[in-house]
Amino acid sequence: MLSERQMMILRAVVRDFTNTGVPVGSKALAKQLPIHVSSATIRNEMAALEELGLIKKTHSSSGRIPSVEGYRYYVDHLVKPDPLRPNDMDVIQSSLGGDFHKIDEIISQSATILSNLTSYTAFTLKPELKDSRLSGFRLVPLGKRQVMAILVTDSGDVENQTFDVNESVTGDQLEAVVRLINDQLVGLTLPEVVKKLQADIPMKIANYLQSPQGFLDIFGDVLTRAAQERFYVGGRLNLLNFSQDSDVDSLKSLYSLIDKTDDIANVLGRPDDKISVQIGNEMTNDALRNFSLITATYDVDQHGRGMIAILGPTRMPYSRMLGIVGAFREELAKKLLDYYRFYDE
- Considering the domain architecture, whether residues 248 and 340 belong to the same structural domain is answered as yes
DSSP bridge pairs for 296: 275, 308
- State whether 143 and 99 are in the same domain: no
Range of the domain at 257: 86-120+235-344
CATH number for the domain harbouring residue 280: 3.30.450.40
Residue 126: inside a domain: no
Characterise 110 by phi-psi region: left (phi > 0), alpha (psi -120 to 50), beta (else): alpha
Whole-angstrom distance, CA of residue 150 vs CA of residue 226: 11
Q: Report pTM.
A: 0.77
Whether residues 111 and 155 fall in one domain:
no
Kindly give, in sequence order, each residue whose CB lies less than 8 Å from that of residue 60, ignoring residues fewer than 6 positions away.
23
Q: Classify residue 86 as exposed, middle or buried by CB count within 10 Å of its CB (0-12, 13-18, 19+).
A: exposed
| 3-class secondary-structure state, position 123 | strand
**Same domain, yes or no: 251 and 337:** yes
Q: Are residues 74 and 169 in the same domain?
A: no
Same domain, 146 and 110: no
pLDDT confidence of residue 244: 63
Q: Which of 78, 94, 111 is the last residue of a domain?
A: 78
Residue 128: inside a domain: no
Q: Is residue 125 part of a domain?
A: no
Are residues 316 and 243 part of one domain? yes
What's the CATH number where 215 sits? 3.30.390.60
Structural domain count, the chain: 3
Q: Decide which of 227, 260, 281 is a domain's last residue.
A: 227
Residues 187 and 312 in one domain: no
Q: Tell me the average confidence (pLDDT) per consecutive run of 10 residues in the chain, 345 residues long.
A: 92 92 88 84 92 88 89 95 92 89 87 95 81 84 83 79 81 88 89 84 84 81 73 87 68 76 71 83 83 92 85 94 95 89 64
